[in-house]
Amino acid sequence: MSVILRADNVSKKFVIGDGSVVNALSDINLEVESNRLVCLRGRSGSGKTTLINILGALDKPDGGSVFFGGRNITELGPAECDKLRRHEMAFVFQSVALISTMTAYENVEFALRLAGVPIKQRSARAKECLTRVGLEKRMYHRPGELSGGEQQRVAIARAVCHRPKIVFADEPTAALDTPTGLAVLKLFRDLVRDDDLTIVMTTHDETMMELADTVYALEDGKIASAVKNDITPSDGSQA
């Protein structure tokens, strides 16, 4: 096993309107191994979004460092962060943010175009990814013609189509009912097992956490516990 992502003493403060300071994160230390599904849990306001944004190079900490593939990404400038995010990372959010006038296929094809994938490869890759998430029969539907769970699957296909190393998903199941959310989690497990991906996600839903390899609990911006579930043996094969 190898560590793909590490946070060393990460902290983040926000100064709000009246001048008071919110310590959103204090002294966060964590490690994410490759080919794992890692969950950040915690109630609203515990710092999950702030942390996942810093891990995914969308935001900078005030103190501490984040290492991705051995590289200190907190020292990178905006252009380098952008390149890193575009090529090696992917993001899935609670609100799906598909382009409503485009079909599922066109949404994924467009993402491949933005990622610089040559035109000849795009069609096959888009179809392959939509099939991968179980949408082979829904490819030519627009988002408005898909259920919430199906839309989230399109967003996942769009996120993984350029073959990132890591996916950051902030509350990807929060807008879904429990069975649909669990189906998304099972898809995440399959992607981690078969597609050489690492996934870091946030949730406040207990049932989702059971499917994660490691669950870090955040409380008031601090890591209160780290629990390893016995899901993936260390040789990488699935139990």
Which residues of the shown chain bind Mg ion in the complex (CB under 5 A)? 48-49
In which element (H, E) is residue 113 found? helix 104-114
Q: Which is nearer to ligand ADP, 130 or 218 (CB)?
A: 218
Q: Which is nearer to ligand ADP, 40 or 112 (CB)?
A: 40
**Shortest CB 115 distance to Mg ion, Å:** 26
Q: Which two tokens stand for residue 13?
A: 């403060």
In whole angstroms, how far apart are CA 123 and each of 88, 103, 119, 134, 162?
21, 13, 8, 17, 12
Task: Single out the segment in contact with ligand ADP by CB under 6 A; choices: 44-52, 80-88, 129-137, 208-216.
Answer: 44-52
In the window 2-31, what residues touch ligand ADP (CB under 6 A)?
14, 16, 22, 24
Q: Which two tokens stand for residue 86?
A: 């575009």
**Shortest CB 126 distance to ligand ADP, Å:** 31
Question: If you ran DSSP here, which 8-state letter would residue 218 be given?
Answer: E
Q: What angle do CA 232, 234, 73 make, to 5 degrees?
A: 90
**Shortest CB 73 distance to ligand ADP, Å:** 19
Q: Which of 49, 203, 214, 232 binds ligand ADP (CB under 6 A)?
A: 49
**Shortest CB 18 distance to ligand ADP, Å:** 11
Burial of residue 104 (CB within 10 Å: 0-12, 13-18, 19+) is buried
Q: Which of 44, 100, 234, 237 binds ligand ADP (CB under 6 A)?
A: 44
Q: Which is nearer to Mg ion, 49 or 151 (CB)?
A: 49
**Shortest CB 70 distance to ligand ADP, Å:** 26
In whole angstroms, how far apart are CA 141 and each of 124, 154, 164?
17, 10, 25
Question: If you ran DSSP here, which 8-state letter would residue 143 be given?
Answer: G
Residue 42 binds ligand ADP, judged by CB under 6 A: yes
Rg (CA), the chain: 18
Residue 210 binds ligand ADP, judged by CB under 6 A: no
Q: Residue 169 in 3-state DSSP? A: strand
Residue 172 binds ligand ADP, judged by CB under 6 A: no
Identity at 144, one-letter amino acid code: G
Q: Which positions lie near ligand ADP, rule CB under 6 A?
A: 14, 16, 22, 24, 42, 44-50
